[in-house]
Amino acid sequence: MTRPRSIGSALDPIALSLLVASLAVSVSLAVVGAPAVDPRWVPGMVVLTLAAAAWRVWLMVRPPDVGLRRVGFWPALLAGCLLVLMSPVYGLYAFLGYLEAPLVSRGRQRSAAMVVTAAACAYAQIGGSRSPLWSWPVYALFLAVNIGVALLIMLIERQRERTMLDLERVVAELRDSEERNARLQDQLLAQARDAGVEEERARLSREIHDTVAQSLVGIITQLEAASDIAARDHTARLQRAGATARDALGEARRAVRALASPRLDEDALPAAIARLVRQVAEASRIDAQFTLDGEPAPTPYDSELLRICQEALANVVRHAAAQRVMVTLGYSADEARLDVRDDGRGFDPAVVGTGHGLPGIRQRLTNIGGTLEIETTEGGGCTLSAAVPR
């Protein structure tokens, strides 16, 4: 504990002042012939006072040392008792023993020091053996009162020690908690950073899939069809393949720059979807139609709806074997809804592949608070409905 260093050092100047004042008063009483102080004791009183004062000065000029204070405590206490026997005026100095004993002693030594201090204080309070009040019964009464004071001080000191131990334990627990919290915070930051990296990777993967991959599928479709048709149509197919490749290049560049669809740079969402549907109709042998329902208004998620439409149409071309597809963009007071219906082969919604198609659409909508509904049966076509808040 640090209390012996701080309070013990604070008591030294007080003790030095009480020693000097007690000596001055005692010598004055001896000079005027007061019965409380025997003049024959003045030389010994001066020697003991100077020795006790030198001890206090020594403690004051040295760095705080609890061990040194403990070594000198009992000689200083006994010297104080002798001074009280020579002059009851030293009783105030002896009272400091009540405060010093708990600081430098423990157990039986503390109890003994408190009893000695109580005896010296009781002797000083009664005025010494030369006082008219002196008698053993009266001294016993004063001694009992001082022992009660000593017991009270010891109880207070024990309570203080228990409180200090509790505080030290609480501080240690708080320090451990802070260290654990710091470690947990570092782990959470690392996990959040890793999750952000994974989410960004998934987003980039979806964007590349929705732009370059879909356009490349269109190019392959055109090239495959070109090998089985007449020369004039063959040229048209190649031209559409070239146009699709140029669109793919533009999409890729745009994805790298801002990961947003270039179709929305010049057109609103309805016009962009209408143009996308026309391109699908021209590039495939599917009857693709677009319908606008309601009053169109921009939403924060127009690019997401366009990407979802691209993915849905790409799935129809690649997997559905459909003859007809209907795309409807509808607006209501609280949401914008995209419906893609085809008359293809359908599928089992419980069985979803490992690609980026439906999982990518679902993830997009989850990230922006949208909803996805799929109605399909094997051989009965498919209806995909995606809704986003306005």
Which of 283 and 189 is assigned the larger pLDDT? Answer: 283
Q: What confidence tens digit (pLDDT) does each residue in 306-330 have?
A: 989 988 888 888 888 889 999 999 9
H/E element, 220: helix 214-226
Range 193-210 average pLDDT: 63
CB 301 within 8 A of CB 265: no
201: amino acid identity, one letter = R
Range 175-190 average pLDDT: 80
Tell me, what's the pLDDT at 194? 67
Look at residue 224 and tell me whether its pLDDT is greater than 70.
Answer: no
CB 238 within 8 A of CB 285: no
* Percentage above 70 pLDDT, the chain: 77
Q: What confidence tens digit (pLDDT) does each residue in 85-137 have?
A: 999 999 989 988 888 888 887 788 888 888 999 999 999 999 888 888 888 99
Look at residue 237 and tell me whether its pLDDT is greater than 50.
Answer: yes
When the pLDDT of each residue in the chain is averaged and rounded to a whole number, the result is 81
Rounded Cα–Cα distance for residues 382 and 339 (Å): 10
Q: If you write DSSP's letter for every residue of 59-106 in order, what string do you get?
A: HHHSPP-HHHHHHHHHHHHHHHHHHHHH-GGGHHHHHHHHHHHHHH--
pTM of the predicted protein model:
0.43
